[in-house]
């Protein structure tokens, strides 16, 4: 078959521009690789006059989304405007009109995914969403196809480039969180309202999407425990380094006896582990399957061209189906929508792991005894203690690393400790994941 595949693009922002650049600039390459012509026939944006720095035929530009949705010849509808509405409405309408859709909209899929995927199944169209998780890294395809023979134990990763960039700068330059954030904002690396990125919400959106595919469970955004990076101080970074760790904002989905752990929080990982070396805007995923063992994927998690690369890969996947006159070859979620089973969530209270505490202690005799007494009473045993100070400061940081302990007991202990008159501020807690370095035998 040699028919042309017509693609409409909604949203000519950062990712939209990257997508358009690839579709317009690499049409020869894409035709050779797919055996068909993929034509970007319409681009819709509210602003179609400002130059995006590359040449776009004016006749394909429109600011009327109806000219995409109502075009019977449009095969694939790409939504890159982000946010819940009107993205959701446009996507659903495109689906109902029998158009295949591609989106990078993680917020929408993490909160309204079931609606979108069910509609697509009902109308027999494809939903491509590789670009919603991990930018240019083909990680969703790895979960659904390349590692299809596996039951997954753990899906874990650094899924937000802005947060990772901030932590990297804090680590390398010993800068304070607020200073790095301000710098990142002035450089355009962080948004004016950085809440989604720094508070772990964007990371949690991505975790919901990838964990749904990997574990085949109905996961709701509210199922994810979320903690951001805004409370991390240069002191924490420096102590962490001394202990041989680095702090990363990690998303973790792990299958345990008590159910599926779903959590996003700053995490100390051994500095020799490959994930600890993933710096700046890079994202990385560690997938653990029962047959394959550990697989790591790493790449740029955001940005015009990397994310555009993922959007176009989805377009090509759909085009390759259309060339063969088929659809639904791989289910959007890797298995039928109605095969998703209810989530059995592992409650945070039952988490067991190692912890980093930084106490803000009043410089007075007996403080250490009172803290360690409370910890001991709750069965939290201490692996290392560091107290640094010159003896004159009114308040000194005391840092402890625990052995394996239970989260509920840790919370109870910190409640009691933070109420002590010798504690002058809220204790900083960072969870530790003692990931094995990748080093097994042959």
- Catalogue the active-site residues: 206
Q: Which two tokens stand for residue 433?
A: 């994941």
User: Do residues 147 and 295 lie in contact, with contact meaning Cβ atoms separated by under 8 Å?
Assistant: yes
- To which H or E segment does residue 21 belong? helix 14-25
- To which H or E segment does residue 295 belong? strand 293-300
Distance between CA atoms of residues 17 and 19, nearest Å? 5
Distance between CA atoms of residues 348 and 357, nearest Å? 18
Q: How far is CA 327 from the centre of its chain?
A: 28
In this structure, what DSSP letter does residue 361 have?
E
Q: Whole-number minimum distance, CB 116 to its own copies, in Å?
A: 20
Q: Whole-number minimum distance, CB 426 to its own copies, in Å?
A: 30
Q: Whole-number minimum distance, CB 330 to its own copies, in Å?
A: 6
With binding defined as CB under 8 A, does residue 2 bind its own copies?
A: no
Q: Number of residues in contact with its own copies, rule: CB under 8 A? A: 83
Footprint on residues 165-194 left by its own copies (CB under 8 A): 165, 168, 184, 187, 189-190
Q: Which two tokens stand for residue 386?
A: 């560091």
Among 11, 16, 136, 157, binds its own copies (CB under 8 A): 136
Among 13, 82, 234, 280, binds its own copies (CB under 8 A): 280
Which of the stretches 65-73, 81-89, 174-182, 333-341 binds its own copies when contact is defined by CB under 8 A? 333-341
Q: Which is nearer to its own copies, 229 or 284 (CB)?
A: 284
Footprint on residues 347-406 left by its own copies (CB under 8 A): none
With binding defined as CB under 8 A, does residue 214 bind its own copies?
A: no
User: Do residues 385 and 399 lie in contact, with contact meaning Cβ atoms separated by under 8 Å?
Assistant: yes
Among 13, 82, 234, 303, binds its own copies (CB under 8 A): 303
Length of the chain, in residues: 442
Among 1, 149, 369, 419, binds its own copies (CB under 8 A): 149
Among 116, 306, 410, 430, binds its own copies (CB under 8 A): 306
Q: How far is CA 439 from the centre of its chain?
A: 26
DSSP sequence for 243-273: TTEEEEEEEEEEEETTEEEEEEEEEEEETTS
Footprint on residues 423-442 left by its own copies (CB under 8 A): 437-442
Among 3, 231, 324, 426, binds its own copies (CB under 8 A): 324
Q: Which is nearer to its own copies, 14 or 402 (CB)?
A: 14
Q: Which two tokens stand for residue 103?
A: 């989106």
Footprint on residues 244-273 left by its own copies (CB under 8 A): 272-273
With binding defined as CB under 8 A, does residue 317 bind its own copies?
A: yes
Among 146, 234, 259, 353, binds its own copies (CB under 8 A): 146
With binding defined as CB under 8 A, does residue 342 bind its own copies?
A: no
Q: Which is nearer to its own copies, 390 or 439 (CB)?
A: 439
Q: Whole-number minimum distance, CB 128 to its own copies, in Å?
A: 12
10 Å Cβ neighbour count for 23? 22
Footprint on residues 94-133 left by its own copies (CB under 8 A): 130
With binding defined as CB under 8 A, does residue 16 bind its own copies?
A: no
Terminal Cα distance for the chain, rounded = 46
Residue 400 CB partners (closer than 8 Å, separation 6+): 356, 357, 359, 371, 375, 382, 383, 384, 385, 386
Distance between CA atoms of residues 297 and 275, nearest Å? 10
User: Do residues 266 and 232 lie in contact, with contact meaning Cβ atoms separated by under 8 Å?
Assistant: yes
Q: Whole-number minimum distance, CB 361 to its own copies, in Å?
A: 35
Among 89, 222, 277, 381, binds its own copies (CB under 8 A): 277
Q: Whole-number minimum distance, CB 198 to its own copies, in Å?
A: 13
Q: Which is nearer to its own copies, 432 or 435 (CB)?
A: 435
DSSP sequence for 378-427: TT--EEEEEE---S--SEEEEEEEESSEEHHHHHHHHHHHHTSTTEEEEE
């Amino acid at each position: 078959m040699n028919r042309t595949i017509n693609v409409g693009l909604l949203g000519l922002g950062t990712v939209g521009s990257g997508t358009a650049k690839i579709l317009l600039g690499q049409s020869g390459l894409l035709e050779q690789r797919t055996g068909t012509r993929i034509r970007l026939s319409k681009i819709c944006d509210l602003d179609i006059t400002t130059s995006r720095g590359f040449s776009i035929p004016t006749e394909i530009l429109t600011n009327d989304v109806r000219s995409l949705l109502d075009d019977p010849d449009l095969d694939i509808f790409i939504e890159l405007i982000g946010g819940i509405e009107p993205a959701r409405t446009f996507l659903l309408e495109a689906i109902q009109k029998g158009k295949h859709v591609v989106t990078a909209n993680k917020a929408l899929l993490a909160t309204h995914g079931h609606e979108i995927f069910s509609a697509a199944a009902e109308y027999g169209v494809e939903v491509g969403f590789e670009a919603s998780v991990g930018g240019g890294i083909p990680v969703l395809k790895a979960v659904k196809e390349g590692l299809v023979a596996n039951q997954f134990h753990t899906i874990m990763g650094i899924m937000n480039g802005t947060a990772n960039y901030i932590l990297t700068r804090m680590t390398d330059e010993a800068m304070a969180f607020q200073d790095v954030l301000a710098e990142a904002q002035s450089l355009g690396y962080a948004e004016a309202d950085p809440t989604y990125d720094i508070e772990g919400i964007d990371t949690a959106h991505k975790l919901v999407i990838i964990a749904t595919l990997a574990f085949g469970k109905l996961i709701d955004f509210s199922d994810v425990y979320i903690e951001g990076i805004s409370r991390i101080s240069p002191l924490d970074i420096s102590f962490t380094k001394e202990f041989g760790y680095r702090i990363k904002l990690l998303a973790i989905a792990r299958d345990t006896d008590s159910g599926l752990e779903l959590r996003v929080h700053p995490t100390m990982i051994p500095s020799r582990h490959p994930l600890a070396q993933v710096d700046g805007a890079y994202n990385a995923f560690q997938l653990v399957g029962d047959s394959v063992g550990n697989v790591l994927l790493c790449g740029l998690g955001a940005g015009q061209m990397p994310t555009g690369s993922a959007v176009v890969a989805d377009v090509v996947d759909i085009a390759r189906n259309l060339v063969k006159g088929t659809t639904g070859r791989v289910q959007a979620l890797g298995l039928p929508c109605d095969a998703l089973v209810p989530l059995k969530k592992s409650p945070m209270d039952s988490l067991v792991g190692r912890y980093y505490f930084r106490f803000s202690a009043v410089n007075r005799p007996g403080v250490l005894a009172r803290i360690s007494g409370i910890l001991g009473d709750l069965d939290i045993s201490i692996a290392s203690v560091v107290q640094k100070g010159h003896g004159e400061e009114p308040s000194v940081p005391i840092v402890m690393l625990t052995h394996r302990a239970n989260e509920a007991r840790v919370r109870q202990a910190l409640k009691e400790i933070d109420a002590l008159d010798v504690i002058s501020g809220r204790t900083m807690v960072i969870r530790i994941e003692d990931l094995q370095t990748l080093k097994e035998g042959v």
